[in-house]
Structures are given as C-alpha cells and as structure tokens.
Structure 1
C-alpha cells in the first residue's frame, strides 16, 4: 500500500506524470459533474470514475507533488495540511450535497484509474452498506466541556499563615491548610463527576434522535484551550430534517440548572466522515 503513484507514459518520475486522487464514493444516480468544488491546485478538473454501479469522485493530480515523500513533507506544514484538508472537505461536501456519499480519508491516491477502480471495487459491498445506512442522514458533532464557571475560588494559605482574628499555633494553621486542600480536591472531584453525568445526559438525549453514534477520546487542553476541560467528544448520524429537533434538545439541556458550568458545542451538518466503517484505507496504492 505504499508504492509510489503510477507515472504517465514515459520515464518514471518524469515531469507531467499523474496520479489519481480519490475523494469519495457515491451512488449511481448522480449528475454529470461532481459539484462546484475545484479540487487540489495544480490538478485536473473533478470527474467521476465508474466503479461497477458506484461512482468515485476523483482528480488527476501531479504525481511529483503527491508522491509519498512529497506528501509527508507537505503535511507536516500546518498551513499546507490545513489547505489540503479544507480542499478535501470542500469536495466531499459538494459531492454529499447531491446524495449519499462515502468520504475517503485525506490523501487517498492510486496508481492511475485502473488501479483505483480495482482497489475500490474490492470494497463495493462495504460502500453500498455505508451508502444505504447514511442515505437521508448527516453527521453532527457534539462536544461537552467543564468550564471554570463555578470552579473553586481562592487558594489555600500556606502552612503557618495566621488566620485573621483567630491567632493559633502553627500546627493549627497547618491542619487548616490541609483541610482547605482536601476541600478543594473534593470540590474538583464533585465538579468532574457532575460534568461526566451531564455528558451522559447529553449523549442519551441525542442518541434518541440518532441512527448511530461514535464516542472518541476527549481532546486535551492543547486543542480546547485553557479554562475548560472536554469531557465528551462524539458524533451522531441524524436525519437531514432533524437538525431543528437537535438544536431544541441541546437548548433545553443548556437551560437546565444541572448544566451550570457546563458548555455544549454542536457543529454540522457534515458528510458522514465518522460512519464509513473503514470502507477503504488511505495511502498510495
């Protein structure tokens, strides 16, 4: 799965050789063009590649710019990674606007059309299963955070600090300090437990609307920023016409007294990235 992309006729590695980049797989009932997106800069126009009864959204791209080594170098640059990911997402979104679509991972490349067709054909049954499951449905992301609102305030006084109006021994001050630390720790634990209970309440409510759900490991502070802790990171497969019901459900939860100091973020609708069930692996083939 790590062979370099097939070169166009001529010497391998020669200028002008092309690889086949695959964005997504769709059902057969599609218009003549994949949609308004333009694909990766420097590549050819987006087009459909027939894979049995299915159609793949593909683009001819320069093999030298999309070789395994070139991609490795490009995708370690955050700005370039963002550009490639955004282009990939825009094409998948445009394709999904026309009907059920299976998004493929970023940088799925093949050794030309015949290799792409052969490899994708091996996954036809899985593609059809995903297309049937996601027809008329979209993905929504739901994240729950514990914020600093309502967090324990103040800091514990160091041992030996006299208490105003209550002179006492150093030992007494030390005990008070330890009690203060214990109380702060217990309060943090209680807040964490309450946040986890709130996350389960959110998950239970949204799953009533969903045909499928995926729970992922919560992001750390490097992604969420200071001042809030992510306690739930989930995606749900929901009917296209149920977005309003989802918004009402989240609004009701946000207004509950149990959610003081709890944030709920939702985003979508997206193509069903989380529900492809590994229909195909990314990489050069």
Structure 2
C-alpha cells in the first residue's frame, strides 16, 4: 500500500556557509527587485519562490545553511511535478523563479546553487542530505568565494538566407539546369560546384573554430577556472549561425573591466565570428559540491 503524501514538501534552492545568510537577511532581499522579471508571482515577504505563498527561509545544518521554501505536495509531488515541467511555459516560470532566489542569495553570500526542483520530505531530510555532502559543499564554497561566473559564446555566421524565388526565377533555373544536364561535361561541372561550396563551408568553419580557441585562451588567462559546455543546436541559435564555443569562466570579483576590455579587443580582431558575453552569474558551472544526484521528489 502506497503511503500517503505529506501535506508539504521542502524545496531547496541553494546552500551557503552557516552564518553567511542569516534569516534576517532574507527581508533585505526585497530591495534587489527580484520580482521584476517574474510576472504572475505573488509578493512574498522574503524571496519569490515558485509562487506558493510561503516565505523562502534559511535552514541551519551544522556548518551549512540551506535556502528553502515549503511547497504543497499536491503541486510538487513526483507525478504533479513531472506534469508541470513537461509544459514549456511552466518549466520556464519555475526555472526563472528558481534562478531569482539563487541570484538574490548569491548577492549576499557565496552560494552553491542546487538543481531545479530539488525536493525533500521535510527539514530533517534536508539536513541529512547536507550532512552527507558537508565536505564537498564546504570545498565548493571555498572555491567560489569572492568570484562570479561569466559566460562566453562564439558563433560562426553562415550567411543570410537565400531570397525566396519567384515562379519565373524557379522555372528559369530549372530550365538552365536541365540544359546543362544534357551538355558535355555538365555532370562534372555540377559536382565541382558542389565540392567548392562544401570546401568553402569547411574552411569557414575551421577558421571559426580557430577563432573560438583564441577567444577561449584569452578569457582563460583571466579566469581561475573554466569549463566547456555543450554548444547549442540550430533550434536555439537559428539557421543562420553555428555555435562554435559555449564556455563558462570563474573570475575573481573586480576583474570585470579587464574581461570587457579583452572581449572588445577580440571583437575587433576576430571579424569572422560573433562573440557574446553574459554575466555575472551565480557559479552554477563551478559548484560541484552540490547534491545534483541527491535531491529528488519523494
């Protein structure tokens, strides 16, 4: 017989060092205006969580502090959560709320972000999970203290899309290809054109990859840690550019001006690619002390 679900679960957003983020600090987070990009969420007394009406709070666990919120099991149990996160709009809303809490906490203290929808049965289970990973959490907090994550993306333009043909242009092109197909050497000429286009594409891609490596080398020189991430596909980038570098860098606070200057110089030199910078972020890519494999719906 399946045991009944508890009336509430505990949603864990992040982990800080004990004492770095006292409960009274949550009230001060209202001033960060973290609600501005979260339309439809209620004004909570502390932080905006996934819109449940309960305040975000801190939970002491030995030398660590978890940032948590009580959520109704009816909306966050395993089946309900799976259904909610299968909806693209609901997934985006939850992800934005999750990120807003982490960003607000990280503005006050070094913060290890936890994965979206990290849920526990009660406060005791949260403390158990943090206790099991106490050493790795403390190491992660030492690693990210006084630092922020920056993202750099490099794209290779593939050129503008071909203009749509009129009916007469299409008919003329078809007639021309038909005429060429029956002429002497026409098949060889066609294959030569195809090979040339393919070779040009490969050369452009190779140049873009080399440019991306130079960008990565410069930014790595400023960072204390770097991580290559999976490039985005055409569904994210669009059909007219190719993602050739997706990287995250952990930089000491105060090096922002050097980073911006370095990328400005790279943009002038690397004219074959597009370079985008984002950040500063909470150090999602460098908080390996997290409990990504430990926080699940009950």
**Length-normalised TM-score, structure 2:** 0.83
Question: For the Cα contact (< 8 Å) 2:161–2:240, is it kept in 1?
Answer: no
String of CA shifts for 1:90-138, please: whole Å, max 9, x gaps. Answer: 0000000002100000000111001111111111111111110001111
- Superposed, 1:83-232 pairs within 5 Å as 83-149=93-159, 158=177, 160-161=179-180, 170-232=183-245
What secondary structure sits across from 2:54 in the alignment?
Answer: coil
1:242 to 241, 255, 268: 255
Question: For the Cα contact (< 8 Å) 1:139–1:237, is it kept in 2?
Answer: yes
Aligned equivalents of 1:213, 1:152: Cα separation in 2: 38
Unaligned runs of 5+ in 2: 31-46, 164-172
Question: For the Cα contact (< 8 Å) 1:47–1:57, is it kept in 2?
Answer: yes
1:33 to 12, 17, 25: 25
String of CA shifts for 1:124-162, please: whole Å, max 9, x gaps. Answer: 111111110001111111111110349999x9x747439
Aligned equivalents of 2:108, 2:135: Cα separation in 1: 21
Which residue is 1:21 aligned to?
11
Aligned equivalents of 2:290, 2:264: Cα separation in 1: 35
Aligned equivalents of 2:161, 2:246: Cα separation in 1: 22
Unaligned runs of 5+ in 1: 5-10, 163-168
Aligned equivalents of 2:291, 2:191: Cα separation in 1: 56
Aligned equivalents of 2:51, 2:219: Cα separation in 1: 39
Structure 1 consecutive aligned stretches of length 4 or more whose deviation exceeds 4 Å: 149-153
Question: For the Cα contact (< 8 Å) 1:49–1:55, is it kept in 2?
Answer: yes
Distance 1:43 1:20, change over 3 A: farther
Once the 2 structures are TM-superposed, how far is the Cα of residue 260 of structure 1 from its aligned partner? 2.6
What secondary structure sits across from 1:284 in the alignment?
Answer: coil
String of CA shifts for 1:236-277, please: whole Å, max 9, x gaps. Answer: 111121112111111111101xx2331111111000001111
Aligned equivalents of 1:56, 1:118: Cα separation in 2: 12
Question: For the Cα contact (< 8 Å) 2:233–2:243, is it kept in 1?
Answer: yes
Aligned equivalents of 2:152, 2:127: Cα separation in 1: 35
Superposed CA RMSD: 2.4
What secondary structure sits across from 2:180 in the alignment?
Answer: coil
What secondary structure sits across from 2:12 in the alignment?
Answer: strand
Distance 1:152 1:249, change over 3 A: farther
Question: For the Cα contact (< 8 Å) 2:227–2:249, is it kept in 1?
Answer: yes
Question: For the Cα contact (< 8 Å) 1:217–1:233, is it kept in 2?
Answer: yes
Aligned equivalents of 2:219, 2:225: Cα separation in 1: 10
Question: For the Cα contact (< 8 Å) 2:144–2:287, is it kept in 1?
Answer: no
Structure 1 stretch displaced more, 141-150 or 268-277? 141-150
The reply to whether residue 80 of structure 1 matches residue 90 of structure 2 is yes
Once the 2 structures are TM-superposed, how far is the Cα of residue 27 of structure 1 from its aligned partner? 1.4
The reply to whether residue 268 of structure 1 matches residue 279 of structure 2 is yes
Once the 2 structures are TM-superposed, how far is the Cα of residue 278 of structure 1 from its aligned partner? 5.2
**Length-normalised TM-score, structure 1:** 0.86
